[in-house]
Amino acid sequence: MEKDTPRIRKEAQKILDAKIVDILSKLKSSEMLFTDLFDQ
């Protein structure tokens, strides 16, 4: 089990990174929507 720990951690980090990227891109697109609304 000890040998697997770094690999598991790496996989978890990959999944986390993907989720963070996803959330950030959603935030960016909704931010653009908000600025469009404010500009009108």
**pLDDT for 27:** 86
**pLDDT for 29:** 79
Distance from C-alpha of 12 to C-alpha of 1, rounded to nearest angstrom: 16
pLDDT digits (tens, 9 = 90+) for 11-40: 999 999 999 999 999 888 777 777 776 776
- Which pairs with CB-CB distance under 8 Å and at least 24 residues apart come from 25-28? none
**pLDDT for 1:** 55
Please give the radius of gyration of the chain, using alpha carbons only, rounded to the nearest integer: 17
The first and second tokens of residue 25, run together, are 């891109």
